[in-house]
């Protein structure tokens, strides 16, 4: 037992150590800024030009990192977004004789619009489907620029004017570098700001489990479009800078080969870290330039590195320090113990004697093709109740939860929460109406820390809130501090403070269950649905669970619980509803239900039910036959 706990203890010890990196961080930024500022002094004219091009790709890579690494959308049109930015600048300045900067603004807007358009399929398809659709659409874009006379019919557009900037001569690659550097720093800073605050956190939650993120109040379709919008804007900025730097655009620059090169940059650097994306872009641009005479070998090389990276270092270069640290920690001894702390009960709410019906289901029927999973199920849950829902496997319990929480739309029947019809509402809306749930097989976010889980769940802001990122970033920052305080209080209440920085999947199962419960309670729901919360818990943990659920109810939250452990149901629930083969077969107090012959038959078969009918008292089905 103690040996099992040792890695955990070490991790906890590391987490408590004052974060020295935090002190070093501003100093590190300062050094980087000075280096970036002084860099041109040590470079020749040609190298300067190479660096300018590399910076364009670095900005593009940040956009790709945001959409793919952070939001988990396989976007293979990022280079096309850059193409839209560059071509719009070129067309507006050379064909329409517009001045450079107004054209640049329109170009970024056009790229953003293209981001939204190409992102549209993401509302319907994900993963590899999305990859191929975005790839196809970027081929469509290439097809247009190689044929349209407006875009130079494949021979490209030359004669883009030099961007005017006061008296500064931007034909000079050295001076252009500083313009790019400012844009790059702004792009990176904004990207990091997004990633580390609520918008980025929601995106990462969506990437890891869109279903769970949705049931916590994240509006998935809007989030996906926001990710593509960001990608489009970054692509547009990169395209404008490219047009201003090279002052010539041609289709080859935005080809699929370049897209795969960008993908290699992001994967090698580390797609989930914006810094990694930047490092990947700069490094691969440098290598590409070194091997310019051997470009095929370079291609062979980066292709091979991509394959090796995904197999052996999926987090890319950015993940190397972390992997080294964990490797070192494994050797270092860890002294302190870290078990899950005690739960601090909620302050009980004023008892409300007149509490009415909170949840009402009327004649819910759910059909999957030919299979009827639920048939005419009606259910009433009073506010302040702890309701048990039991039944053999396949009796439709989880389907019922999925209908209440908005994952499924019932084939027939109505669901009302506090008298309000909620049937067919999306999960994120239900979350905002005060509904929370846990999942049978723990849908935790794979790459979020325990604290981030709670922060993501505490964040109840509507998605339109994202405008503040552009108009009032200070407000975002302040909101973040508030969220942090609430998260710390919640961590403390659920005894999880020692694991705040840990990734839940690395923790023992019981703690993971506790994290999921804390996450569901973060929104202070009116109604909490618990889907087999005791599965996989040991005796002590089950006792703790009973205590926690009772306190949750006393705080004013109504609880509906699916559970197979009959002892737990008996000690916890005032009312129990029994489902079998999609129908409600019994309802009443735990003792009444356990004595019901129909229930016994459903669990143990007809013979058992007959016997139970003869000999009183009845045997209680303590565990469901599996």
Where does this chain bind other proteins (CB under 8 A)?
72, 74, 120-121, 123-125, 127-129, 131-133, 135-137, 139-140, 142-144, 146-147, 211, 256-257, 260, 263-264, 267, 296-297, 299-300, 302-307, 309-311, 314, 368, 398, 401-402, 405, 407-408, 439-440, 443, 531
- Specify which residues 558 forms β-bridges with: 527
Distances (CA, A) of 483 to 458, 476, 519: 7, 10, 13
Choice between 154 and 341, CB closer to other proteins:
154
Two structure tokens written together for 264: 């290699």
CA separation for the pair 294, 300 (Å, rounded): 10
CB nearer to other proteins: pick between 103 and 361 = 361
Task: Say if residue 87 is exposed, middle or buried (CB neighbours under 10 Å; 0-12, 13-18, 19+).
Answer: buried
Cβ 215 to other proteins shortest distance, Å: 8
Q: Rounded to the nearest whole angstrom, what is the least distance from the CB of residue 425 to other proteins in the complex?
A: 16
User: What distances in angstroms separate CA 395 from CA 44, 251, 392, 400, one per listed residue?
Assistant: 74, 59, 6, 10
- The most distant pair of C-alpha atoms in the chain lies apart, rounded to whole Å, by 102
Return the number of the residue (309 or 573) whose C-beta is nearest other proteins: 309
626, exposed or middle or buried, with CB in 10 Å at 0-12, 13-18, 19+?
Answer: exposed
Q: Which is nearer to other proteins, 143 or 172 (CB)?
A: 143
Instruction: Using the minimum distance from each CB to other proteins, give the nearer residue, 99 or 308.
Output: 308
CA 432 vs. chain centroid, Å, equals 18
Residue with tokens 């002590």: 540
Q: Output DSSP code: residue 528.
A: E
Q: Could you say which DSSP state residue 392 is in?
A: S
Smallest separation (angstroms) from other proteins to the CB of 153 = 9
Tell the smallest beta-carbon distance from residue 201 to other proteins (Å).
20
Closest distance of CB 140 from other proteins, Å: 4
Cβ neighbours around 315 below 10 Å, total: 19
Query: Strand 527-531 relative to strand 435-437: parallel, antiparallel, unpaired?
Result: parallel
Q: Which residues pair with 374 in a beta bridge?
A: 366
Dist CA 565 CA 105 (whole Å): 62
Question: Which residue, 137 or 609, has its beta carbon nearer to other proteins?
Answer: 137
CB of 42 to other proteins, least distance (A): 33
For residue 231, give the nearest of 173, 291, 274, 175 by alpha carbon: 274
Q: CB of 386: closest distance to other proteins in angstroms?
A: 22
- Contact, 364 vs 415, CB < 8 A? yes
- Output 264 or 600, the one with its CB closest to other proteins: 264
At its nearest, how many Å lie between other proteins and the CB of residue 342? 31
Choice between 123 and 591, CB closer to other proteins: 123
351: which 2 tokens? 């008892």
User: Could you tell me the smallest distance in angstroms from the CB atom of residue 297 to other proteins?
Assistant: 7
The CB-of-125 to other proteins minimum distance in angstroms stands at 5
Burial bucket for residue 216 (CB in 10 Å: 0-12, 13-18, 19+): buried
Q: Report residue 3 as tokens.
A: 């040996």
Structure tokens at 503: 């990734």
DSSP 313: -
Nearer to other proteins, 127 or 172 (CB): 127
In sequence order, what E strands does 62-123 have?
none
Kindly tell me which of 102 and 136 has the beta carbon lying closer to other proteins.
136
Of the pair 65, 621, the CB lying nearest other proteins is at 65
Nearest approach, Cβ of residue 549 and other proteins (Å) = 20
């Amino acid at each position: 037992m103690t040996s099992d706990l040792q890695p955990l203890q070490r991790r906890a010890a590391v987490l408590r150590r004052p974060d020295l990196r935090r002190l070093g961080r501003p100093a590190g930024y300062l050094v980087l800024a000075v280096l970036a500022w002084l860099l041109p002094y040590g470079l020749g004219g040609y190298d300067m030009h190479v660096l300018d091009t590399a910076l364009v790709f670095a900005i593009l890579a940040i956009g790709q990192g945001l959409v793919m690494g952070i939001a988990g959308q396989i976007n293979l049109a990022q280079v096309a977004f850059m193409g839209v930015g560059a071509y719009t600048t070129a067309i507006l300045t050379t064909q329409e004789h517009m001045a450079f900067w107004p054209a640049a603004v329109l170009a970024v807007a056009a790229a953003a619009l293209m981001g939204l358009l190409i992102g549209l399929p993401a509302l319907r398809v994900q993963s590899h489907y999305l990859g191929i659709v975005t790839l196809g659409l970027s081929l469509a874009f290439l097809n247009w620029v190689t044929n349209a006379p407006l875009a130079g019919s494949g021979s490209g557009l030359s004669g883009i004017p030099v961007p005017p900037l006061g008296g500064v001569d931007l034909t000079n690659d050295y001076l252009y570098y500083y313009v790019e550097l400012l844009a790059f720093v702004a792009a990176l800073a904004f990207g990091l700001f997004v990633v580390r605050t609520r918008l980025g956190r929601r995106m990462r939650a969506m990437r890891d489990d869109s279903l769970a993120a949705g049931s916590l109040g994240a509006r998935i379709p809007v989030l996906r479009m926001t990710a593509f919008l960001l990608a489009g804007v970054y692509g547009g900025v990169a395209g404008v800078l490219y047009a201003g730097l090279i002052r010539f655009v041609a289709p080859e620059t935005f080809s699929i080969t370049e897209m795969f090169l960008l993908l290699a940059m992001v994967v090698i650097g580390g797609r989930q870290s914006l810094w990694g994306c930047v490092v990947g872009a700069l490094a691969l641009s440098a290598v590409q330039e070194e091997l310019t005479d051997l470009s095929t070998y370079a291609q062979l090389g980066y292709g091979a590195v991509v394959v090796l990276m995904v197999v052996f270092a999926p987090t890319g270069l950015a993940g190397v320090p972390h992997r080294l640290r964990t490797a070192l920690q494994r050797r270092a001894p860890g002294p302190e113990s870290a078990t899950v702390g005690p739960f601090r009960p909620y302050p009980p709410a004023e008892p409300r004697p007149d509490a009415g019906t909170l949840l009402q289901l009327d004649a819910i029927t759910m059909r999957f093709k030919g299979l009827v999973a639920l048939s005419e199920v009606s259910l009433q849950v009073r506010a302040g109740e702890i309701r048990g829902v039991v039944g053999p496997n396949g009796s439709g319990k989880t389907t019922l939860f999925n209908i209440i929480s908005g994952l499924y739309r019932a084939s027939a029947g109505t669901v009302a929460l506090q008298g309000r019809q909620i049937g067919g509402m999306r999960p994120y809306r239900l979350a905002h109406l005060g509904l929370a749930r846990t999942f049978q097989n723990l849908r935790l976010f794979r790459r979020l820390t325990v604290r981030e889980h709670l922060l993501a769940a505490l964040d109840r802001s509507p998605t339109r809130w994202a405008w503040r990122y552009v108009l009032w970033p200070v407000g975002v920052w302040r909101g973040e501090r508030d969220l942090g305080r609430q998260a710390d209080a919640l961590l403390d209440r659920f005894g999880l403070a020692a694991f705040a920085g840990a990734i839940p999947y690395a923790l023992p199962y019981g703690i993971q269950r506790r994290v999921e419960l804390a996450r569901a309670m973060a929104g202070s729901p009116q109604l909490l649905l618990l889907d087999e919360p005791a599965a996989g818990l040991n005796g002590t943990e089950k006792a703790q669970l009973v205590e926690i659920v009772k306190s949750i109810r006393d705080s004013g939250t109504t609880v509906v619980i699916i559970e197979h452990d009959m002892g737990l149901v008996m000690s916890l629930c005032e009312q129990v509803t029994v489902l079998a083969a999609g129908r409600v077969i019994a309802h009443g107090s735990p003792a009444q239900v356990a004595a019901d012959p129909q229930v016994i038959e459903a669990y143990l078969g007809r013979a058992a039910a007959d016997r139970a009918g003869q000999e009183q008292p009845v045997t209680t089905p303590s565990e469901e036959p599996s």
